[in-house]
Amino acid sequence: MQTSGTYELTMILGAATLLLWGVRMVRTGVMRTYGAQIRKLLPRALGNFLVALAIGVGAATALQSSIAVAVFTSSLAGAGVIPVAEGLLLLLGADAGSAVVAALLTLDLKAIWPLLMFVGYLLHAFFSETESPLKQLGRIFLGVAMILIALTFMGQVSHGLADSELIRIIISSLGSELVLALLLFAILTWLAHSSIAILLFWASLVQAGITTDPSLILAGLLGINIGNAAPPIVMTWRQPAAARRIVWGNAAFKLCGVLLCLLGIRWISEIYHLLPGLPGFRVVILHILFNIGLIVVFSGLVRPTARILERFFADPIKPVDQVGPKYIPAADDPSPKSEPFPVTALSREVLRILGTVQYMLELTREMLVDGKADNAEEIRRQENKVDVLFKAVRLYAVDLTRKGRGDQAKVMALLRYAASLENAGDVVSKTMIGVPKSMRKDGKTFSKQGRDDLDALFTYLIGNAQLAAEVIMGWNDAAATVLVQRKRDFKAMCNDRLRRHIDRLSEDEPNATETSAVNLDLILDIRWINTQVASIGYDVSPENEVPGNEVAEELAARPES
Q: Residue 519 pLDDT more than 70? A: yes
**Residue 347 within any structural domain of the chain:** yes
The pLDDT value recorded for residue 333 is 62
Domain boundary among 274, 295, 312: 312
- The average pLDDT across 439-449 equals 71
- Strand, coil or helix: 210: coil
On whether both 267 and 369 belong to a single domain, the answer is no
**Residue 29 within any structural domain of the chain:** yes
- Strand, coil or helix: 205: helix
Q: Residue 336 pLDDT more than 60? A: no
Tens of pLDDT, residues 405-421 = 777 888 888 889 999 99
**Residue 468 within any structural domain of the chain:** yes
On whether both 106 and 199 belong to a single domain, the answer is yes
Domain holding 472, by residue range, is 342-557
Alpha carbons 490 and 66: distance in angstroms, whole number:
47
DSSP code at position 338: P
Task: Name the residue with higher pLDDT: 388 or 33.
Answer: 388
DSSP code at position 370: S
On whether both 280 and 363 belong to a single domain, the answer is no
Q: Residue 427 pLDDT more than 80? A: yes
* Strand blocks (E) in 286-367: none
**CA 157 vs CA 6, 151, 207, 282, 505: distances in Å:** 11, 10, 11, 20, 58
Cβ atoms within 10 Å of 159's Cβ, excluding its own: 16
**CA 201 vs CA 7, 111, 194, 287, 322: distances in Å:** 17, 19, 11, 13, 60
**CA 289 vs CA 215, 248, 284, 437: distances in Å:** 15, 22, 9, 38
CB 200 within 8 A of CB 19: yes
On whether both 159 and 301 belong to a single domain, the answer is yes
Cβ atoms within 10 Å of 361's Cβ, excluding its own: 24
Task: Name the residue with higher pLDDT: 3 or 217.
Answer: 217
> pLDDT above 90 covers what percent of the chain?
2
Radius of gyration of the chain from its Cα atoms, rounded to whole angstroms: 32
Q: Residue 335 pLDDT more than 70? A: no
Residue 560 neighbours by CB under 8 Å, 6+ apart: 331, 395
The pLDDT value recorded for residue 256 is 92
Q: Give the type of residue at 542.
A: P
**Residue 133 within any structural domain of the chain:** yes
CA dihedral 438, 441, 447, 450 (to 10 degrees): 10
**Residue 173 within any structural domain of the chain:** yes
On whether both 244 and 284 belong to a single domain, the answer is yes
- The average pLDDT across 441-470 equals 81
CB 309 within 8 A of CB 248: yes
Q: Give the type of residue at 491.
A: K
Alpha carbons 284 and 273: distance in angstroms, whole number:
13
The pLDDT value recorded for residue 407 is 79
Domain boundary among 295, 312, 329: 312
The pLDDT value recorded for residue 172 is 63
Q: What is the CATH number of the domain that holds 352?
A: 1.20.58.220
Cβ neighbourhood burial of 351 (10 Å; 0-12, 13-18, 19+): middle
Residue 161 neighbours by CB under 8 Å, 6+ apart: 5, 8, 9, 12, 167, 205, 208, 210
**Residue 327 within any structural domain of the chain:** no
Q: Which residues of 297-327 are buried (b: 16+ CB within 10 A; e: fewer)?
A: ebbeebeebbeebeeebeeeeeeeeeeebeb
On whether both 275 and 382 belong to a single domain, the answer is no
Alpha carbons 213 and 208: distance in angstroms, whole number:
13
Tens of pLDDT, residues 207-216 = 777 777 888 8
On whether both 302 and 350 belong to a single domain, the answer is no
On whether both 248 and 370 belong to a single domain, the answer is no
- The average pLDDT across 354-365 equals 89
CB 213 within 8 A of CB 221: no
On whether both 386 and 288 belong to a single domain, the answer is no
**CA 434 vs CA 283, 367, 377, 406: distances in Å:** 50, 10, 11, 42
Domain count, the chain: 2
CB 153 within 8 A of CB 18: yes
Q: pTM of the predicted model, to two decimals?
A: 0.50
The pLDDT value recorded for residue 561 is 41
The pLDDT value recorded for residue 553 is 43
Residue 557 neighbours by CB under 8 Å, 6+ apart: none
Alpha carbons 556 and 561: distance in angstroms, whole number:
12
H-state helical runs in 106-194:
113-126, 133-162, 165-174, 178-192
Q: Residue 501 pLDDT more than 80? A: no
Phi, then psi, of 12 in degrees rounded to 5: -60, -45
Alpha carbons 303 and 87: distance in angstroms, whole number:
10
On whether both 304 and 352 belong to a single domain, the answer is no
Q: Give the type of residue at 289.
A: L
Q: Residue 341 pLDDT more than 80? A: no
The pLDDT value recorded for residue 555 is 43
SS3 content of the chain, % helix, strand, coil (to 5): 80, 0, 20
The pLDDT value recorded for residue 136 is 81
**Residue 137 within any structural domain of the chain:** yes
Alpha carbons 45 and 307: distance in angstroms, whole number:
19
Alpha carbons 225 and 202: distance in angstroms, whole number:
13
**Residue 326 within any structural domain of the chain:** no
Tens of pLDDT, residues 289-323 = 888 888 888 888 888 888 888 888 776 655 545 66
On whether both 171 and 264 belong to a single domain, the answer is yes
DSSP assignment string, 20-84: HHHHHHHHHHHHHHHHHHHHHHGGGGTT-HHHHHHHHHHHHHHHT-HHHHHHHHHHHHHTTSS-H
Domain boundary among 312, 333, 367: 312
The pLDDT value recorded for residue 559 is 45
The pLDDT value recorded for residue 50 is 60
Q: Residue 228 pLDDT more than 60? A: yes
Q: Is residue 447 very low, low, confident or very high in pLDDT (cuts 50, 70, 90)?
A: confident
Mean pLDDT of the chain: 75
Alpha carbons 258 and 559: distance in angstroms, whole number:
69
Tens of pLDDT, residues 466-488 = 888 888 888 878 888 888 888 88
Q: Is residue 34 very low, low, confident or very high in pLDDT (cuts 50, 70, 90)?
A: low
Task: Name the residue with higher pLDDT: 254 or 100.
Answer: 254
Tens of pLDDT, residues 127-176 = 877 767 788 888 888 887 887 777 667 656 655 555 556 566 666 666 66
Handedness of CA 419, 425, 426, 428 (dihedral sign): positive
On whether both 240 and 352 belong to a single domain, the answer is no
